[in-house]
Amino acid sequence: MRQLARDLACKLAVVDADTGQSVLDADEPLPADLRDEVVEEVKRSGGALPGVVHLDIEGMRAQLVEVPDEDATVLVTHGFRAAAPDVVLLQHIATAAALLLAQQGIRREHQRRIGGELLAQLIDGRLDDDEGHRQLTERGLSADRCVLLAVDGANPSGEQYVHLSLDRRGIPNLLLRRVGRLYALVPQGDEAIGVLHRRLGAAALIGVSDPLGAPTRAGAAQREANWAMRGAANSPGGVSHYAQAMLFSVLRDTDEAQLLVDRVLGALLRYDADRSTDLTKTLDTFLRCGRSWQATAVVMRIHRQTVVYRIRRVEEITGRDLSATAHIAELWLALRARDLVAGP
């Protein structure tokens, strides 16, 4: 690209359409005024540039052309010392830039895989704090200032490019797909969440853990993020934070949640484990279906009378009456606490 710029007697830059930041390694940044105007022009065009766009900012001329890349990318020519390149030549240069970005993307994909392995080790508790801090620092992350995100309902076609969009904005990250869910360890703040929503679609639900604090707390952070994500559907923007997502203030951590599970559901869980029954699942489905016998039977694919029998057994084993509001609330909270401590 530098050789092309010398041959064309101008400056070339390949930039992110949303931020105006350079996306090729070692590329020179655009002047601030030109960068801001490029971003505004892309916005005015609805994200798709119509051929070649010519800009003139207080005597500083520039040309914009879209780069055929996975992300929104623009080729900018400016600082002309001779005639500006013609349209056909610009399109050839944009194609060359796309090839360079593809090669750069291969390297970044390798780094993404390494980051995923590191996040898996942290979540599974296979690293101590010293080693965890060292490896996070190498990746540009600080345990005190990063959070774990759990993402569900993502657009699969956009997920493979999440790391590229984050890297382009200088946001350090670790990404891991596990049990049908995407996990991302990123710095605190709205910037990374905004990138995920843009890439994964507005339907994506995002749960945000409390700050990691220590690498050995990654497993607990995963449970917090999953807990928060379950409330994201009813939260503004599809984002829910663990600190605000607790169903009741009595549950402030996973230890308290486990105590509640043991006290309310312990006997029922043991009964299921000893006899290979589905009473706990039937209870959860029954409450999710608004205590409708028929709806529960349809979801569980069993006879309505079987549902009635199982719920009667649940009442006997737990000592709770499912016609009493207080007991229903207690069982519901215990089931959600079980989700927290069990994970996905």
The CA distance from 137 to 139, in Å, is: 5
Instruction: Check residue 68 and report its DSSP letter.
Output: -
Contact between 211 and 202 under an 8 Å Cβ cutoff? The reply is no
Structural domains of the chain in order of their starting residue, each with its CATH number: 2-103 (3.30.450.240), 127-244 (3.30.70.120), 254-342 (1.10.10.2840)
Q: What's the pLDDT score for residue 206?
A: 94
| Cα radius of gyration rounded to whole Å, the chain | 26
Does the pTM surpass 0.85? The reply is no
Q: What's the pLDDT score for residue 335?
A: 92
Q: What's the pLDDT score for residue 248?
A: 47
Q: What's the pLDDT score for residue 113?
A: 94
Instruction: Kindly report, residue by residue over 43-56, the tens digit of the pLDDT.
Output: 988 877 888 899 98
Per-residue tokens: 120: 């898996």
Parallel/antiparallel/unpaired status of strands 60-66 and 11-16: unpaired
Instruction: Check residue 332 and report its DSSP letter.
Output: H
Q: What's the pLDDT score for residue 38?
A: 92
Q: What's the pLDDT score for residue 276?
A: 95
Q: Which residues pair with 238 in a beta bridge?
A: none
Which phi and psi (to 5°) does residue 63 adopt?
-125, 140
Give the dihedral of Cα atoms 244, 247, 251, 255; nearest 10 deg. Answer: -100
Q: From first to last of the 344 residues of the chain, give the pLDDT tens digit.
A: 888 889 999 999 999 988 888 888 767 889 999 999 999 999 988 877 888 899 988 888 999 999 988 778 999 999 999 888 888 999 999 999 999 998 888 888 899 999 999 999 999 999 999 999 999 999 999 999 999 999 998 777 677 789 888 988 889 999 999 988 999 999 999 999 999 988 888 889 999 999 999 999 999 999 889 888 877 877 778 898 887 765 544 555 677 788 889 989 999 999 999 999 999 999 999 999 999 999 999 999 999 999 999 999 999 999 999 999 989 998 998 998 888 777 65
The CA distance from 184 to 173, in Å, is: 7
Q: Which residues pair with 78 in a beta bridge?
A: 11, 62
Element (H, E) at 32: helix 32-44
> Residues near 65 by Cβ (< 8 Å), separated by ≥ 6?
49, 51, 52, 53, 74, 75, 87, 90, 91, 93, 94
Contact between 272 and 318 under an 8 Å Cβ cutoff? The reply is no
Instruction: Kindly report, residue by residue over 77-96, the tens digit of the pLDDT.
Output: 999 998 888 889 999 999 99
Per-residue tokens: 256: 């308290």
Element (H, E) at 4: helix 2-8
The separation between CA 98 and the C-alpha centre of its own chain, rounded to angstroms, equals: 26
Q: What's the pLDDT score for residue 164?
A: 85
Neighbours of 290 (CB within 10 A): 8
